[in-house]
Copies of this chain bind each other. A is one copy, B any other.
């Protein structure tokens, strides 16, 4: 089969790889319907995360079940399934507590930019749709497997409540999905921080009521301006840099919350500043599995359309174009077709 391999920063190639096989009774093999490139893939593509040896890429997927191990009864060959970038048995204590992305058997996917994928813990990870959905739903369902689920967790971790004010830091695919999540959680005012006109437009389409283009101290000052000097109830930090985290923490009101879902790179939080801010802080890889049934339903009933974050579609064979476009910020997120 074909699959993406990152050889060095900037050097991603489609190669012929071994077809995946059932290794454990809890595995399933799927044929990907569509897959995509994640903003987090850019950390290694840009050399900001080290690339010590060639590695397969991709952790987002929807597709058709081809084969299941003996222990898998939840899905069957032929079904269209959605999963999560982190697999989970959905039975351990962490899963039962709702943190499937901390499952004791967690396996983080990394081979999904390919024709076929082995899904470990398939029984607890995959959710099958009743019928094969129309292709127009595939991008939205694909978004659910990571960026939409991650935006949802940002809203949950930031404790967005009906009638509240939410700020979204970051206008990548996760940030844009976080706007959807804030809206669906009932936020009355949603302030998106974005400098890019097409992304501002999509943010507004998703429910943003205000756009702030300033950053750093000026950005914080604008948020305080817009909230009568009080700060926001919830801030959804969807970047992962020290600047973004600082901006998030300083934009929240005392007693407010920051949910952070950008994988932190060089972020350290000063204990005393956090103390005197009275701001609550929770982050982590999103427990997407918990949200799947609900988010799939919202997509299939057209209540939300996170698939709109895909503003570029390229065939898998030309994956280098997808990475380059996202690296150069010409695309928010690139969809890969077989």
Which residues of chain A have a CB within 8 Å of any CB of chain B?
A: 93-94, 97-99, 101-102, 157, 228-230, 242, 245, 253-255, 257, 260, 263-272, 274-285
Q: How far is the CB of A309 from chain B (nearest CB, A)?
A: 22
Of the candidates B101, B228, B281, the one whose C-beta lies within 8 Å of that of A282 is: B281
Cβ of A276 and Cβ of B269 under 8 Å apart?
A: no
Bound: A260/B273 CA distance, A = 12
Bound: A265/B275 CA distance, A = 11
Q: Do A280 and B281 form a contact, CB below 8 Å, given A268-B268, A268-B270, A269-B269?
A: yes
Cβ of B275 and Cβ of A281 under 8 Å apart?
A: no
Cβ of A282 and Cβ of B280 under 8 Å apart?
A: yes
For residue A271, which residues in chain B have a CB less than 8 angstroms away from its CB? Answer: 242, 245, 260, 264, 266-269, 283
Bound: A271/B279 CA distance, A = 15
Using CB atoms, name the residue of chain B closest to A281.
B281
Q: How far is the CB of A260 from chain B (nearest CB, A)?
A: 7
For residue A97, which residues in chain B have a CB less than 8 angstroms away from its CB? Answer: 230, 253-255
For residue A275, which residues in chain B have a CB less than 8 angstroms away from its CB? Answer: 260, 263-264, 283-285
Cβ of B281 and Cβ of A99 under 8 Å apart?
A: no
Cβ of A93 and Cβ of B282 under 8 Å apart?
A: no
Cβ of B280 and Cβ of A272 under 8 Å apart?
A: no
Q: Do A102 and B255 form a contact, CB below 8 Å, given A230-B93, A269-B269, A276-B284?
A: yes
Q: How far is the CB of A283 from chain B (nearest CB, A)?
A: 4
Cβ of A281 and Cβ of B276 under 8 Å apart?
A: no
Bound: A242/B270 CA distance, A = 11
Using CB atoms, name the residue of chain B closest to A233.
B97
For residue A260, which residues in chain B have a CB less than 8 angstroms away from its CB? Answer: 271, 275
| Leading 6 A-B pairs by shortest Cβ distance | A267-B271, A264-B271, A102-B254, A280-B282, A278-B284, A99-B254
A-B contact pairs, 7 of them (CB 8 A): A93-B229, A97-B255, A99-B278, A157-B280, A254-B284, A260-B271, A264-B274
Known: A97-B253, A257-B282, A263-B275. 13 other contacts (CB 8 A): A94-B255, A97-B255, A98-B255, A157-B280, A260-B271, A264-B271, A264-B272, A264-B274, A267-B271, A269-B271, A278-B282, A280-B280, A280-B282
Cβ of B93 and Cβ of A228 under 8 Å apart?
A: yes
Bound: A101/B270 CA distance, A = 20
Cβ of A274 and Cβ of B278 under 8 Å apart?
A: no
For residue A277, which residues in chain B have a CB less than 8 angstroms away from its CB? Answer: 284
Q: Of A255, A267, A285, which is in contact with the most chain B CB atoms at under 10 Å from its CB?
A: A255
Q: How far is the CB of A165 from chain B (nearest CB, A)?
A: 12
Bound: A255/B101 CA distance, A = 10
For residue A285, which residues in chain B have a CB less than 8 angstroms away from its CB? Answer: 275-276, 278
Q: How far is the CB of A278 from chain B (nearest CB, A)?
A: 4
